[in-house]
């Protein structure tokens, strides 16, 4: 889990949800609503995935856009900015996304929770999608 101040409240709620779902959650902050810079938190979550400490991540900022841009600069990271449960499901099925990105200022918490549920319960379909994902590098 990682968020800036714009995504802090949502991160807190989604951390509880994931723990309720039985996942061991690593929370890389931020730890308050004080202003911080989203690339710093994207970096921590990306490093945890690259290092094998985490399998998947969630990043939250105000819009979800900054976190997406920051995370997707890294090879092997497929960060999907999702707006509903269908996009979260497709991000896993077709794109093998390893980071779910959400925008606290644009997405209702109930929708965000649906995204989390789908993202963490949907497998990659492989097949023709495997070839396309490989081309991403
Ligand atoms: C912070 O005000 C805001 O810019 C940030 O959370 C995010 O939306 C950036 O993309």
- Average of pLDDT values for 5-17? 98
Nearest CA to ligand 1 atom 8: 62
Residue 8 Cβ inside 6 Å of ligand 1? The answer reads no
Q: Which of 74, 82, 94, 129 is catalytic?
A: 94
- Structural domains in the chain, sorted by start: 2-134 (3.40.1400.10)
**pLDDT tens digits, 71-93:** 999 999 999 999 999 999 999 99
pLDDT of residue 22: 97
Q: At what angle do helices 85-93 and 109-119 cross, to 10 degrees?
A: 20
pLDDT of residue 117: 98
- Residue 7 DSSP code: G
Distances (CA, A) of 56 to 18, 105, 120, 128: 12, 23, 9, 22
82 labelled catalytic: no
User: Considering just the CA atoms, what is the radius of gyration of the chain in Å?
Assistant: 14
**pLDDT tens digits, 93-106:** 999 999 999 999 99
pTM above 0.85, yes or no: yes
Mean pLDDT across the chain: 98
Q: Characterize the bridge pairing of strands 79-81 and 57-61.
A: unpaired
């Amino acid at each position: 889990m990682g968020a800036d101040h714009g995504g802090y409240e949502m991160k807190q709620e989604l951390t509880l949800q994931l723990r309720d779902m039985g996942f061991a959650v690593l929370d890389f902050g931020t730890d308050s609503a004080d202003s911080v810079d989203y690339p710093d938190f994207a970096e921590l979550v990306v490093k945890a995935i690259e290092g094998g400490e985490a399998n998947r991540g969630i990043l939250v900022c105000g819009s979800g856009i900054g976190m997406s841009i920051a995370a997707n600069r890294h090879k092997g990271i497929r960060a999907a900015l999702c707006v509903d449960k269908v996009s979260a499901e497709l991000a896993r099925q077709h794109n093998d996304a390893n980071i779910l990105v959400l925008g606290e200022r644009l997405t209702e918490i109930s929708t965000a929770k649906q995204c989390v549920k789908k993202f963490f319960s949907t497998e990659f379909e492989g097949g023709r999608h495997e070839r396309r994902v490989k081309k991403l590098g």
